Structure 1
Amino acid sequence: MLVDSHCHLDFPDFAAELDAIVARAKAAGVARLVTISTRVKKHAQLIAIAEKFPEVFCSVGTHPHHADEEMDIDAGALIAIAQHPKVVAIGEAGLDYHYDTGPRENQAKSFRQHIEAARKTGLPLVIHARDADADMAQILKEEAARGPFKAVLHCFTAGRELAFTAVELGHYIGFTGILTFKNSENLRQIAKDLPADRLLIETDSPYLAPVPYRGKRCEPAYVAETAKMLASVRGVSPAEIARQTTENFHRLFNKVPQAIEIAA
């Protein structure tokens, strides 16, 4: 059993064949999918998808690219939406200095609201961090001092220091198909050295298709390729990686039931 802990099933790339996408994921052994929010104001679309498929769950949050659009969304608003049984995480939220689509102070303010929502709900925070290692580490340390919260640094491509800072704070690290790319040797070394109980796998689909699908639209079924690479890097079997990452997923995303009823 595999889990795609981060995909975007509400994106237009999947609209024409969503049923087939989920069916292919199931055929590939992907038993749980979490479709991740990027705009709270479009959250109804995620709820509709999660309610349609028993295997699919969702988060609620504002991607840093859209922080400027949703500065009126505070922790209270996130907490209210998170009461829905299919909402199992807060985010994705964080810092993105690669594109700098809005003022960094707004990204940070929004991010801290999401941390507060995660702290108060007990749900995991899905963190987006790109080219912002120092500020991300600082905020995580400051917020940890204010009270514990759970989190995963998703689609991890940052440096070793941030990875191990996050783990020391009790957080998890999520790897995508980037792990399979030829130029990702440094990332593979980090994945090799991290504690086994802090690893997650994901697709971030429709983006970042792993080898051998690189250059094509990604989909949740392809998380199996990331699992194979992670197994190879760590010198264990794909079955062991599947077991460990699924166990890690349920420990972190503990609102997701381990058994679900699926109609015939």
Structure 2
Amino acid sequence: MAFRDRRELKGMAHYKLILAYDGTLYSGFQRQAIKNSVQATFEEALRELGWQGRAVIPSGRTDSGVHALGQVVSFSFDWRHSDFALMSALNANLPDDLSVQAVERVGETFHPRYDALKRTYRYQLYSRPTRDPLVDHFAWRLDTLPDLEKMNRAAEELIGEHDFSAFGKALKENGTTTREIFEAKWQRNEIGMVFWITGNAFLYHMVRRIVWVLVKIGLGNLPEETVRVGLETGSTGIVALAPARGLTLIKVVYPGDKDEAI
């Protein structure tokens, strides 16, 4: 949003920013005492501009090694210049593996997590005899690619509202494990295979455990009904996760966004 009237640039404003980052060298989004996090790195860049807030609020907390193209954060800031100037100033202070993609002024009640309607994640697979340095940070390398049709048949079971306790846990004690999935499908892409999953929200480790199960189904190591049985019984007995490197938070959708429709 452009603010041509300089009177609109005075005083505290609430901001919504979209961040992109390569999560390889980060311990995750959330600030940690002795580890390098996305949040701490971003907040340090903000403080260099005079921000004195306590903490930015994210749409979610990505795990160590997980990437993002559409992480959303919000904060209040007394910034006297344009939104573009804020984006430029922050990017000048940020490292090469973290950047601001968009800046928007929003109402002070906006909350990146609680106002979100849906979130989309991407997971990538590839198969090469040796690691590809240009791909390996962003995909899970396998000896052979799994059967696409098997994985998609199993993924169809995820669509709809279910108790996903077999695939993850709530972030809060006694929190609900019910989530609604709108899309879950595998496709071939230029490096191998890609999984797209969109839901209203996700449990801790939910996407990575789902991917691990689907890949094992596609490789013939698990029966195709594993997903259905897990949703029906609340347990698969599986604790393994797909590697973090293949996962990217693509976008978060809010009321009023052009792709708000479910």
Instruction: Please say whether Structure 1 and Structure 2 have the same fold, judged by a TM-score greater than 0.5.
Output: no
User: Which has a greater percent of helix?
Assistant: 1
User: Which has a greater percent of strand?
Assistant: 2
Q: Which has the higher contact order (CA 8 A, sep 6+)?
A: 2
